[in-house]
Structure 1
Amino acid sequence: MDWITFLLSTPHNDPQLPLAWDADIPGRTLSWNQYVHAVKSVAAGLQATRLEFQGCVALLSENDIYYYALGDAVIAAGGIFCPMQTSRRIAELAHQLKTASVKYLFASPKLLDLALEAARSAGIPDVAIFVYDPPGVEVYRGSRICMSRLMSRDDTQWKNPNVGKDPRAIMAYRMFSSGTTGSPKAAEISHYTHIARVDQRSKGPLSDPTDKARALIWTPIYHSTCQWNYHQAAIGEQTMYVTSDKEVKDVPALIDIIRQYDITATQVPPYFLLPVVACIKNGTRSTGDLSTLIKVSSGGSTIDPHAAHQFRAVFPEIKFLGGYGTTEAGGFALGPGPDISSPGVIGNVFPDVELKFVNPETLVEARDGEDGEVCVRSVQVFSGYHNNPEANTSSFLTDPSGNWFRTGDKGHLDPKTRHLVLTGRYKEIFKIDLKQVAPEEIENVIMQHEAIEDAAVLPVPAKHDQTQVEVKAYVVKKDVTKQVSAEDIIAFVATKLSSHKVPRGGVVFCNEIPRNALKKVVRRKLREIDACEG
């Protein structure tokens, strides 16, 4: 079965009730009937533009309740949908367009000029740039093809070109990898795989058939985590509220939205745990403002056990869950998450998932309980990277009974609990004096300093021996007017970590740390940072 047939076979009990609410525009909602009409009418319109079967159509937009309705329309027209990572840099947008072989690009009016420049750089003709103007926002009046005009078509004209095709062989999505250590790659997600991911989430540990969650999407919607949550609402498993993506400074506003809409479930990236706690402790907001929250899941990067412990202490009534997954392999572990006494713990591996742990250099399987590179095999694993045979070769372990995807993460299964435990990331781990150093461990310690808002570290050539490396830190102050020196940071870390983990390679005070959608540090951009006054 193809994804669109699966989607349209799950009508809601009351198709007029909202499945999605715009948390930024009062009264703007999306019902099942409106969703279906948007998918079918826009698909019919795209077919009339002669979109080739399996042609790629991208969207560059802010968070919006119709975001994946447009995506599903692209798929319903026989295309492949590519949610673009938003960026203000033309070169980065052009790279995405080229990497995903995008043929047509929708862009919101706010991002249209950027989209046009990026498209020109990528060699996409001007006539292939459309405007994303969904219902409930200002209608586009220009001459370009736009969503509002496509939606005026008769949706009975639509025919599903995916019917009868092998769902494993036709792609539904090209989703970009995080790009934290290298340029983002376009992961191909088949119809079969996407159905498996949506179905798993509707039946997995996060589901609750007795209580339809009111879930809030507030991180960038192009990320796969938001895509999975969005489609839980589309198939009637929860009601979705969507707001613009938030930064740390927006935590009070985020809490206000949770209170206003009686949100019961949301995802909080690890980077946001301490800012949420601080917002309560300093009296900016109260625990009562989050009294409707039942479940909070955290993932996307390493969860600091110190932050998780504080979050649980401040919000003992909220069920805190640690999650683990990747764009390429879907979500495949969930559980209690780490604490001070059990750092790195995630939880149980999902039933349809196989894991093994290998030495990343020899590929020999690790013994039970020993660390190795986490490799995963399941129906949720993607088909491969688009037009990137080199990455595909290096990212999979071949096996006659089914290939294994190499996550690049370091971990093991606890011999007693069988919980997945993550201990680092091989692509980011470096060695000093033959000892392994995980950057996030040092970053978490630096951010415990009362004067520091954010931090990231890198290995740099050691001053005393250019053949060796030492730690260099990049830090952001909470208050630029307060004095804190590099020596202060070095001394602070030295009281908490082994000497080889102390940032003796320097401390750079900067304006911000480059992070992706789920607030992972984008390390390849750290060296571009301009130092500001310390």
Structure 2
Amino acid sequence: MKAQQSTYWPKGLPRTLDLPRTSLYYNLEVAATRYPDKPAVVFYDSVLSYAGLCQQVQALAGYLQQECGVRPGDRVALYSQNCPQYVIGYYAILRAQGVVVPVNPMNLAEELQYCVADSGARTALVAQELYGNAQPLLASGDLDHLVVHAYADYLTEATDLAVPAAVTAPRQEHAGSGVTLWQDALDRNLTPAAFAGKHDDLCVIGYTSGTTGHPKGCVHSHSTVMASVAASAVWRGGSPAFSALAIAPLFHFLGMQGGMNGPIFNGATAVLMQRWDRDVALKLIERHRVSLWSAPPSMIVDFFSNPALADHDVSSLSKLMGGGAAMPEAISRKLAEEFSITYNEAYGLTETAAFILGNPIERGKRQCLGIASFGVDARIVDPATLEELPQGETGEIILHGPQVMLEYWNNPEATAKSFLERDGKRFLRTGDLGYMDEEGYFFMVDRLKRMINASGFKVWPAEVESIMYGHPDIHEACIIAVPDPKRGETARALVVLKPTAPANLTEDDIIAWCKQHMAAYKVPTSVAILDELPKSGTGKIMWRQLQEDARAESSNCA
């Protein structure tokens, strides 16, 4: 079957891009040369200029090469929450011609050890509150060097913002064989070897969340990461005049690209937060005239539910973008009607270095992944037969494009299972179910593994959640599958109510509302009202954990 292209294409944009054939590090060098005095990073009102950022990157790269023995192609782990040191460390590893291995700072010692051992990293850049998880890896021989940083070292200006305790904690004097404090490494001011990196060198190995078995390392070159960065910048109109709120975790590709690599590519300013706090975000947006923000829908929902919003000027905020989950229709409508902002939804994976499908800025559709971007071929196939499906039918999304990863690190079996050949092209199987409409826009239905089979009817949790966000008293909703003696499986809704919700609102009231707004087979058979829903480091509701907990509870009661 011949691939179908979108019948709509953004006016003035080419179908394919001439992508830079340079390293990601070169983007920083260019920005620092053009805008040496411009703020590259703002961290709770403390500013690091592009010249300062580049100088510290050079010094740390020299230390990594001369004292830690990092050679071209060597992997270096980066284990930290958002901070200026994360940006410096990331680009220093690239300047040393190493490969960045971002590790989720929520990972504990055993999970860190797996990523270090699997990637073969011998050096790690570690935040001091995570030192206890990393230090045993020196004793075990998994690591040779730890460079430890304290967030407080980069709080150079007084601020009235509510800064997290981990950020204000003073520097601890960690010592021992193989341990170096960040500032001591920079103070050596060592000069790195001449840069000889190429665009097709390895750049980042990003580990998946490990929903089945161990996490898998997605191997990206400078070219694949650059393809996503450049495509997003052109698609959305990137500019050095912008400033971006960087709150999505930098270890994850949404934050890595939207909050760090994208702003540096554009020569823009990143306004960096270590952790989510909607009140602090509100003040930073107002104070630093933030214009761009990449975030998951759950964060946007929380921000625009803030009662203090009316007392602050957020008129500079012109572009909201993100993905990972569909933006609820009710929230999209509120953004458009009350703030004249369109949430630009896009689609990407760790395997695609984020952006690969996107809604055109001037002609987006709500709750839509968008159309295939520059040079991308996206199709829908039957997940069982891999035969292509016609327009309108639901199947698995497969993707071919310049930002698709090279392979899974040291895992040829997983690589083979995740790719297929079609029409002389190599396509990534995403595991996401969706369909394409008559104009070539793609819509997500759900994850292949998340479908609920209720008496033979397919219930897609994301669809039910989206409808429930239209309830006037629901702040957050998560649909999970639980065993049912009659239906096999059934849907249970876990909800968090808005502070303004009536005190006498019951679970039965919510079910009654659902019966009025969705087909009977989709209506949750039970509802639980909770104080909060657990979220991952990227702000996504942890539906899998909630589902496993519910099933375990059901088994214990059986």
Per the normalisation by structure 2, the TM-score is 0.82
2:326 touches 2:368 (CA, 8 Å); kept in 1?
no
1:142 aligned to which of 174, 194, 211: 174
Q: Does residue 432 of structure 1 match 2:454?
A: yes
Partner of 2:92: 73
Q: Contact 1:181 / 1:524 at 8 angstroms: preserved in 2?
A: no
Superposed counterparts of 1:441-520, under 5 Å: 441-464=463-486, 468-478=488-498, 482=503, 484-504=505-525, 506-520=526-540
Distance 1:453 1:89, change over 3 A: farther
Q: Conserved in 2, the CA contact under 8 Å of 1:287 and 1:315?
A: no
Which residue pairs with 1:151 in the alignment? 186
Q: 2:58 & 2:125 partners in 1: Cα distance? A: 17
Tell me which moved more, 357-366 or 139-148. Answer: 139-148
Corresponding residue for residue 128 of structure 1: 145
Residue 420 (structure 1) aligns with: 442
Query: C-alpha separation between the residues in 2 aligned to 1:445 and 1:196?
Result: 35
Relative to 1, partners in 2 of residues 1:92 and 1:477: Cα closer, same or farther, differing over 3 Å? farther
Asked if 2 retains the 8 angstrom alpha-carbon contact of 1:295 and 1:320, the reply is: yes
Alignment of 1:112-511 (within 5 A): 112-116=131-135, 119=137, 123-125=140-142, 127-133=144-150, 136=154, 141-143=173-175, 144-160=179-195, 162=197, 167-168=199-200, 170-179=201-210, 184-202=215-233, 204-209=234-239, 212-229=241-258, 230-246=260-276, 250-279=277-306, 283-286=307-310, 289-316=313-340, 318-329=341-352, 330-335=354-359, 344-399=367-422, 401-415=424-438, 417-464=439-486, 468-478=488-498, 482=503, 484-504=505-525, 506-511=526-531
Aligned length: 509
Shift of 1:191: 2.1
Alpha carbons of structure 1 residues 38 and 13: separation in structure 2 relative to 1, 3 Å: closer
Match of 1:54 in 2: 73
Contact 2:346 2:357 in 1 (8 A): yes
Check conservation: 1:18, 1:29, Cα contact below 8 A. Answer: no
**Contact conserved, 1:19 with 1:236, CA < 8 A, in 2?**
no
Q: Which secondary structure does the structure 2 equivalent of 1:253 belong to?
A: helix
Per-residue deviation, residues 132-189 of structure 1 (Å, max 9, x unmatched): 24763566543221332222334434233535xxx43x32111122456765422111
Matched residue type, 2:278: V
Is the 1:219–1:518 contact (alpha carbons within 8 Å) kept by the matching residues of 2? yes
CA contact (8 A) 2:452 2:490 kept: no
Q: 1:462 Cα shift?
A: 1.3
Give matches, 1:1-150, under 5 Å.
3=23, 6-7=26-27, 10-12=30-32, 14-24=34-44, 26=45, 28-48=46-66, 49-87=68-106, 89-116=108-135, 119=137, 123-125=140-142, 127-133=144-150, 136=154, 141-143=173-175, 144-150=179-185
Q: Which runs of 5+ in 1 are unaligned?
A: none
Give the drift of 1:363. 0.2
CA distance in 1, matches of 2:339, 2:492: 35
Give deviations 1:62-94, integer Å, cap 9, x for gaps.
211231321121122232111211216444444
Are 1:63 and 1:221, in contact at CA under 8 Å, matched by a contact in 2? yes
Q: In the alignment, is the contact (CA less than 8 A) between 1:182 and 1:524 conserved in 2? A: no
Cα distance in structure 1, aligned partners of 2:202 and 2:319: 33
| Offset at residue 448 of structure 1 (A) | 4.3
Give the secondary structure class of the aligned counterpart of 2:384.
Answer: coil
Alpha-carbon distance in structure 2 between the residues aligned to 1:155 and 1:236 = 28
One-letter code aligned to 1:471: A
CA apart distance, 1:52? 4.6
**CA 1:288–1:44 in structure 2 vs 1: closer, same or farther (change >3 Å)?**
closer
State the secondary structure of the residue aligned to 2:446: strand
Identity value in percent? 23
In angstroms, what is the RMSD of aligned CA positions?
A: 3.2
Partner Cα distance (2:288, 2:329) in 1: 30
Contact 2:96–2:192 (CA<8 Å) still a contact in 1? no
CA contact (8 A) 1:133 1:148 kept: no
CA contact (8 A) 2:40 2:268 kept: no
Shift of 1:301: 1.3
Segments of 5+ residues of structure 2 without an aligned counterpart are 1-20, 156-169, 554-558
Describe the SS at the equivalent of 1:201. helix
Distance change in 2, residues 1:423/1:400 (3 Å): closer
Q: CA deviation at 1:217?
A: 0.6
Q: 1:486 and 1:384 mapped to 2: Cα distance?
A: 46
